[in-house]
Amino acid sequence: MAALPFSGDERINLASAEVVLADGHAQGLDLLSEMFAGFGVMKPHRCSSAAEIRDIVALREINLFVIDSALVDADGYEFIRWLRRSGVRPNSVAPVLLLTGHTRKSDIFKARDCGANFVVRKPAAPLVMLQRIMWVSRETRQYVESPGYVGPDRRFRMLGPPPGEKGRRSDDLSAEVGAAKTPNLEQDDIDALFAPKRVSL
């Protein structure tokens, strides 16, 4: 993933960050700009359309994208899907926060599947937004490129496949615990494992 100009354990200084703020509504864009000015971003790239963002992606190296789900000429999901597949490095792997007023489960899955790092519900409080920025600064998930998906690994935790389903990866462990292949140890045998032993030198 592209790095923000600070690490997760440092104090945030976004003054030198190249940030794209995109919202199809002028009022929403103004609110975002004011919020990020409070974070130290005085000259963000303000966009209302996917076409404007594409022009910036071609010219500048961006550290963070904050994209609303509703742009003037496309929805944010479509733009993020394009960005991840664009091949314009390092922008195609830069952190992306998706803003949306709809946080139904299907919308969250849609954001995850288009390649967004995180979904932020609107209206977003400044503290929540700052926490999400800090979260993506500590991002440790691998970047995945496959025919069906491009973006950060969608698995936050390596818990294996859902119960009753076979894993798709060779290292997936089954959630089912099999029957014992040998007899259980007697309590005396278990105690003997932990008993102090004399060591001769």
Per residue in 50-76, pLDDT (tens digit) is 999 999 999 999 999 999 999 999 999
> Token pair of 74, please?
């496309």
Q: What confidence score (pLDDT) does residue 104 get?
A: 87
| pLDDT top residue among 175 and 133 | 133
Closest CA to 150 of 100, 83, 95: 83
CB contact set of 49 (below 8 Å; sequence gap of 6+): 22, 24, 71, 72, 73, 74
Query: Which domains occur in the chain, in start order?
Result: 19-152 (3.40.50.2300)
> Binning pLDDT at 50, 70 and 90, where does residue 97 land?
very high
pLDDT, tens digit, 9 for 90 and up, residues 115-172? 999 999 998 999 999 999 998 888 878 889 999 999 998 776 655 556 666 666 666 6
Mean pLDDT of the chain, nearest integer: 85
Angstrom distances, CA of residue 154 to CA of 150, 169, 186: 10, 14, 44
* CA distance linking residue 130 with residue 186, whole number of Å: 55
Q: Quick one: CA dihedral 174, 180, 184, 189, positive or negative?
A: negative
Q: What confidence score (pLDDT) does residue 133 get?
A: 93
52: phi then psi, degrees, rounded to nearest 5: -65, -40
DSSP 91: G
Task: Please give the model's pTM, rounded to 2 decimal places.
Answer: 0.73
Angstrom distances, CA of residue 10 to CA of 3, 36, 80, 138, 201: 13, 18, 28, 10, 51
